[in-house]
């Protein structure tokens, strides 16, 4: 899990405060949050919102809310800094299912934080400051449709894989395939950073949200480098 926070300079005291939260599922370079952030920054500029901070998260959308530290930090920041609007690309960025999205929406409503969902063009609060009376209905309907679509995609993938194997196909990497050392280090650069600082394996796993076996595998790859560092310290 890769996370990133960016604090931005204050543009104008006449602007209302805002925070951007962006998420993509992949931890590799194939996906990034640049497009989401750019579009939300454009929206903020057109609606007199001063973006004070940007939170970027690289983690599977299937994770529970409590397993997403960057999202939790974002919500806490909005509360403690009395942020006016939290800008998010789409409903599914805020939770893995309808219940979790609604729980986060309730948290923001209770703390007078507006949320703008760009894809759905939806706000928690209306322009006059009152709560959107149809909000929960919209979220439930849209969220349920999204869940059904994910289930449909998963079913099609499973059916396709089964048919492929029945016809003699083989799943997984080709025999002899092996990722390069450099690629492993790049894909797990968050683990690399903590290991270089001397953090224990279990602590690194907790901090990055990755499995202990993954951390141990990367540590083994880095053993020559880590051993050299220990000799220099001695």
Query: Is residue 49 in some structural domain?
Result: yes
Nearest one of 14, 52, 11, 36 to 117, comparing CA atoms? 36
19 & 129 share domain: yes
Query: Is residue 217 in some structural domain?
Result: yes
126 & 23 share domain: yes
128 & 213 share domain: no
> Alpha-carbon torsion 28, 62, 190, 6, what sign?
positive
Q: pLDDT class for 112, splitting at 50, 70, 90?
A: very high
Query: Is residue 9 in some structural domain?
Result: yes
134 & 84 share domain: yes
> Residue 44: which CATH number?
3.40.50.1390
Contact between 79 and 115 under an 8 Å Cβ cutoff? The reply is: no
82 & 198 share domain: no
Comparison of pLDDT for 53 and 139, the residue scoring more = 53
Contact between 33 and 56 under an 8 Å Cβ cutoff? The reply is: yes
As a whole number, the mean pLDDT across the chain is 81
Q: Which domain holds residue 89?
A: 2-144
123 & 29 share domain: yes
133 & 229 share domain: no
Q: Which of 117, 144, 171 is the last residue of a domain?
A: 144
Residues 57-90: pLDDT tens digits?
888 767 787 888 899 999 999 999 999 999 999 8
- Burial code of 1-32, b = ≥16 C-beta within 10 A, e = fewer? bbbeeeeeeeeeeebebbbbbbbbeebeeeeb
Q: Which of 128, 144, 160 is the last residue of a domain?
A: 144
197 & 109 share domain: no
11 & 74 share domain: yes
17 & 116 share domain: yes
122 & 190 share domain: no
Nearest one of 48, 131, 42 to 89, comparing CA atoms? 42
pLDDT of amino acid 117:
92
Comparison of pLDDT for 146 and 136, the residue scoring more = 136
Query: Is residue 185 in some structural domain?
Result: yes
Query: Is residue 168 in some structural domain?
Result: no
Residues 156-214: pLDDT tens digits?
777 877 887 778 777 766 655 566 778 888 888 889 888 888 888 888 888 888 888 88
pLDDT of amino acid 28:
53
Provide the phi-psi class of 82: left if phi over 0, else alpha when psi is between -120 and 50, else beta: left
Query: Is residue 171 in some structural domain?
Result: no
Answer whether residue 53 shows pLDDT above 90.
yes
Answer whether residue 21 shows pLDDT above 60.
yes
186 & 137 share domain: no
| Structural domain total, the chain | 2
pLDDT of amino acid 170:
73
Which residues are CB-neighbours of 60 under 8 A, at least 6 positions away? 25
Q: pLDDT class for 36, splitting at 50, 70, 90?
A: very high
Stretch 19-39: mean pLDDT: 82
Query: Is residue 44 in some structural domain?
Result: yes
Q: What does the alpha-carbon distance between residue 67 and residue 13 come to, in Å, rounded to a whole number?
A: 35
Query: Is residue 155 in some structural domain?
Result: no
């Amino acid at each position: 899990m890769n996370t990133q926070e960016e604090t931005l300079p204050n543009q104008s005291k006449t602007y209302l405060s805002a925070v951007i939260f962006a998420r993509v599922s992949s931890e590799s370079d194939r996906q990034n949050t640049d497009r989401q952030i750019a579009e939300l920054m454009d929206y903020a500029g057109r609606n007199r919102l001063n973006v004070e901070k940007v939170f970027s998260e690289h983690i599977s959308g299937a994770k529970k809310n409590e397993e997403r530290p960057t999202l939790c930090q974002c919500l806490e920041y909005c509360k403690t800094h009395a942020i006016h609007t939290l800008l998010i690309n789409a409903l599914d960025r805020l939770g893995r299912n309808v219940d979790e999205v609604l729980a986060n929406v309730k948290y923001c409503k209770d703390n007078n934080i507006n949320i703008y969902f760009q894809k759905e063009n939806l706000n928690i609060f209306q322009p006059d400051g009152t709560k959107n009376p149809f909000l929960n209905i919209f979220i439930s309907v849209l969220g349920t449709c999204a869940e059904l679509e994910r289930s449909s995609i998963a079913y099609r993938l499973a059916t396709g894989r089964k048919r492929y194997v029945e016809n003699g196909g083989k799943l997984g990497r080709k025999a002899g395939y092996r990722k390069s050392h450099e690629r492993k280090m790049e894909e797990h650069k968050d683990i690399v950073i903590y290991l270089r600082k001397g953090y224990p394996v279990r602590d690194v796993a907790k901090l990055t949200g990755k499995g202990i076996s993954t951390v141990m595998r990367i540590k083994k790859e880095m053993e020559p480098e880590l051993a050299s560092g220990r000799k220099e310290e001695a």
